[in-house]
Each structure stands twice: as structure tokens, then as C-alpha cells.
Amino acid sequence: MSKLILSLDGGGIRGAATTQFLTHVEKALQSTYQKSLRDCVDFYAGTSTGSLIALALATTDMDMQAINQLYSYGNAKKIFIKNRGLFEVDGINAPKYEAKGKTVTLKKYLGNARIKDVPEGKHILAVTYGIEKRRPYVIKSTEDEFQNLLSYQVADASSAAPTYFPTQDMKLPPDNEQGWLIDGGVIANNPTMCAIAEACRLWPESPRRVLSVGTGTRTRKINGPESQQWGALQWMLKGCIIDVLSDEKVVGYQAITISPQGSYIRVNAEMRPQPGFDKAPDDAMDDISQTNIKRLKGMGDFWFSRYGDAVIELLNDNYDGPSLDRIDPNNGMPVEYHLE
């Protein structure tokens, strides 16, 4: 029997598009096949905001509608609380946002859930990065040493984006030593290849299907000639260096190339108007205005209108079409990938 991987990218508040899309998917699964999203997924993977969604699905009993409500204007205001230190310039010489609001909100919704709470036979991974040891941490249920880690703490670490939120400290196995962790997006904003590697190790004889969901692709132009004169400050302010480092396209290329025909769907689109989608959201990871959250959820609606039927059949192991990649902004339809 084939195994289904659900991989969810990072992107801050742009995760609202992901949860809106998956809420539609779950409703369709229930009405067509009397199944929940959880019934169809064998391996969950998430980075940053994607880790929150993945951990909620894998280690709690929240349904997609409840998870979607996490990405409301009210919750966003509690998470993105501006850092108001006296001589601090947000994002320049101090994190743009305080840590407390995010931590409290994650704990409220994920509660006392732990990595070990993933159902038997299923697995979860979340990506973060340890700055002192200069190494990635792929926190996963396949390793006994991670079983007792609290889900909200893992999500908090995986979403501690540099310049936006403070570094998170967490006691890590095997020695229970203090680690200082930042957003996994700096190394694997799209965790699909991490999940594929784990699935190959766990189930070497089983075919795999992959549903990989992004949070929208940024299209703002970075000034090439001007960048020749930039130092660290300009790269942060003008070059959006965090977004450059967290680009997900290479992983997308790797994943679709190694996946058998018809076994992979990548849900994503450029964040600009295109056929079928007139009101594009702001591409910032922290634009939490009510208008932008509404537009992000509108992007999730757009994705379902374009990918919904194929995704439902992929989840139910009935899909017989080509692998699908991101939406082509010229025609508003997913790019079909055919192996040569």
C-alpha cells in the first residue's frame, strides 16, 4: 500500500492560505469519501508556520476548521506583538516582535500535546536550526529521543524567524542540554525532501504519494544593479535576505523530479493577480491586516478551485493524472509535469 506525505511550507501569516485550502480539502473528503484528512496522511512534515499546522494535525484532535481559525485576525494580533523596547529599532537591533505572544498562543491551542501523541503507524517531523552548534534539527517521531518534546515548543522553535522573533531556547536530547533554535526556513522552508528521505527509510518497499503545500511565492523585484553596493544592513532591509535564503523552488524541483509520474502535487502560486484570482495578498509574512488575511484565505480558495479534484483523488489513492506543479500565472492553471 502506498504512503501519503503531507508537507507544509513556512511563511508566517501566509499559512492562512494553507489552512483555508486544507479546510476545503477536508470538507470534500468527508462529503465524497466519508474520510478526514488525518485518515489519508501517513507522514506529516512542516517548517515554521507549516510545523504548527502539521503538529496540530498529527498530535492533537483539532479538525481543519479549528486549525483554520488559528489564522484569524484576533490570533494574529496576539502573535505579532511589536517589540517596544526603549532604544530598539524593530528588526534592526532587536527582533521586530516579542516572543511571549506567539508562545502563549501556541501553548493555548496545542496544549500538552507531545511528539509521541502522533497515532500509531503515522509520523511527524518539524524543522528548526540550532545556531550555537550550527546544525539543523529535524525533530521527528521516528526517533525515540524526541518523543516527549511538547508540540507547542517545537512549533515555537521552528517559527522563530530571525529579525522577526527572538531565538527560542529548548532542552534537547540526548543530553537534555539547552539549545538555541531559529526558524527552520533558513535551511528547509519546504520540508518535502526531509519527509521523502524519512519515508524511504521507514517504508522502503512502499510507493509514496506527496502533497506539498506552499504559502505563495514572492514576486517583488530586488534591484540587481543596486545590490552590488549593499552590505549587511541593505541586504536585510532592501534585499529581503531572509526570504532569499528560504526560497523553496530548489526543493520543489528535486521532489517532483524524483517522484514517479502522477504521485506528486505541489500546491502554490505567485502572489499577484492572475486568471481566476484578482485580489492577490501582500507577500509579507507579517501583514496581519484583516484585508490581507481575507485575501490570503482567498488564495486558499483559488488553490482549491485549481487543485481540489486532483488532490482529493491523490489523497484517496485514486489519482491517475500527471504530477502537478505551481500555478502558471499566465493561465491560472497548475503546470503539468511529464517525465521525459
Is a pLDDT exceeding 70 seen at residue 239? Answer: no
Give yes or no: 301 in active site. no
Position 178 pLDDT exceeds 90:
no
Annotated catalytic, 183?
Answer: yes
Q: Are 40 and 63 in contact (CB under 8 A)?
A: no
Domains assigned to the chain: 3-221+248-337 (3.40.1090.10)
Q: What is the mean pLDDT of residues 145-170?
A: 95
Which tens digits make up the pLDDT trace of 256-310? 888 999 999 999 999 999 999 999 999 999 999 999 999 999 999 999 999 999 9
Separation of alpha carbons 173 and 143, rounded Å: 10
> What local confidence, expressed as pLDDT, does residue 211 receive?
98
The pLDDT of residue 236 is 59
pLDDT at residue 83 in the model = 85
CB 41 within 8 A of CB 122: yes
Pairing between strand 43-47 and 264-267? Answer: unpaired
**Cβ density class 225-241: b for 16+ within 10 Å, e for less:** eeeeebeeeeebeebbb
Find the mean pLDDT for residues 161-187: 90
Q: Which helix (H) or strand (E) holds 140?
A: strand 135-140
d(CA 13, CA 71): 7
Chain-centroid distance of CA 215 in Å reads 7
Coil, strand or helix at 208: strand
Taking each helix axis from N to C end, the angle separating 151-158 and 49-59, rounded to the nearest 10 degrees, works out to 160
Its pTM stands at 0.93
β-pairing verdict for 323-328 and 177-183: unpaired
- φ, ψ at 7 (rounded to 5°): -115, 130
Whether 246 has a pLDDT exceeding 70, the answer reads: no
Q: How many Cα atoms occupy the beta-carbon half-sphere of 64 within 13 Å? A: 21
Contact at 8 Å (CB) between 72 and 61? no
Lowest mean pLDDT among 109-113, 175-179, 211-215: 175-179
Grid cell digits, residue 264:
506528486
CA angle at 32 for the pair 31 and 36, rounded to the nearest 5°? 65
Among candidate residues 7, 48, 51, 259, the one labeled active-site is: 48
Helices (H), the chain: 15-33, 37-40, 49-59, 64-69, 73-79, 100-110, 151-158, 185-188, 192-202, 224-227, 232-237, 241-245, 249-258, 290-315
8 A C-beta contact, residue 106 and residue 152: yes
The distance of Cα 271 from the centroid of its chain, to the nearest Å, equals 16
- What 3-state DSSP class applies to 162? coil
Q: What is the mean pLDDT of residues 226-243?
A: 63
Q: Which of 9, 156, 183, 286 is catalytic?
A: 183
